[in-house]
Amino acid sequence: MLKAIIFDMDGVIVNSEPLHRKAYFDMFEEFNLDVSNGLYESFTGKSTSTICKELCEIFDLSISHEKLMFSKRKHFKTIFDNDPEFQMIDGALSLIKNYFYNNLTLILASSASMTNINRIFKKFDLDKFFKAKISGADLKESKPNPEIFIKAAKLSGFSKSECIVIEDSTNGIIAAKSAGIYCIGFNSPNSKNQIYDKADLVVSNFNEIMFSKISEKL
């Protein structure tokens, strides 16, 4: 029986990808890194720390990955603070409320830093709906490693067989399935060049996965 929903954040609750993309490319320009669109898209779902470590290896940089992280987060904060049009993804708040008021336990499992998670949760007043939040930036391994979803299921207080993950990225879906958890792939227009074939169910509209429609999936 379904007891808990584990949400990814970027691409599921909010579309902060354009903000992150601009922040990353501002950082790439700052350090003269020639990052192709293909390389950038392969980073989707990974933490900033993991991405910056990979950049240091790919470009054989002498600077630390922490310096790249600081630059990216500095650029992101500036962009976030000055973008009045930044909103939740259509239907996300209704979906969260639908699950919450049907007594499901909600957990946030995002590769974003906890600073960014808290910034977004404060902006949209989401803390009251979620039992716990996990930042992949605080874990040893990033998605597609399953660690974040294994921990999220434990925090829910229920078994993995009673949880569902909602993800929009290839790396996130692989992580959820590797953790042994049912995964819904959210194929939104904002999620570019992601592969959903490993997801148990793929949807493009949150109305397809309201409580009444997925409560018997497990």
The domain boundary residue, chosen from 30, 49, 81? 81
| Shared-domain flag, residues 103 and 59 | no
Helix (H, G, I), strand (E, B) or coil at 189: coil
| Shared-domain flag, residues 47 and 112 | no
Residue 191 reports pLDDT greater than 90: no
Question: Could you give the percent of the chain with pLDDT greater than 70?
Answer: 100
Using one digit for the tens of pLDDT, what is the confidence trace for 11-60? 999 988 888 899 999 999 999 999 999 999 899 878 899 999 999 999 99
| Shared-domain flag, residues 119 and 206 | yes
The model's pTM: 0.84
Torsion sign over Cα 80, 86, 89, 91? positive
| Shared-domain flag, residues 74 and 108 | no
Higher-scoring residue by pLDDT: 13, 81: 13
Residue 196 reports pLDDT greater than 80: yes
Residue 83 to residues 44, 76, 79, 116: CA-CA distances in angstroms? 22, 11, 6, 15
Q: So what's the pLDDT on residue 18?
A: 86
Q: So what's the pLDDT on residue 81?
A: 87
Higher-scoring residue by pLDDT: 126, 141: 126
The number of domains in the chain is: 2
Host domain of residue 44: 17-81
| Shared-domain flag, residues 127 and 210 | yes
Alpha helices in 82-194, H assignment, sequence order: 92-100, 114-124, 147-156, 170-178
Phi, psi of 40 (to 5 degrees): -60, -45
Q: Would you place residue 179 in the very low, low, confident or very high pLDDT band (cuts 50, 70, 90)? A: very high
Q: Would you place residue 193 in the very low, low, confident or very high pLDDT band (cuts 50, 70, 90)? A: confident
Using one digit for the tens of pLDDT, what is the confidence trace for 89-98? 999 999 999 9
Q: Would you place residue 131 in the very low, low, confident or very high pLDDT band (cuts 50, 70, 90)? A: very high
| Shared-domain flag, residues 111 and 43 | no
Q: So what's the pLDDT on residue 138?
A: 79
| Shared-domain flag, residues 103 and 183 | yes
The domain boundary residue, chosen from 31, 52, 81? 81
Residue 110 reports pLDDT greater than 90: yes
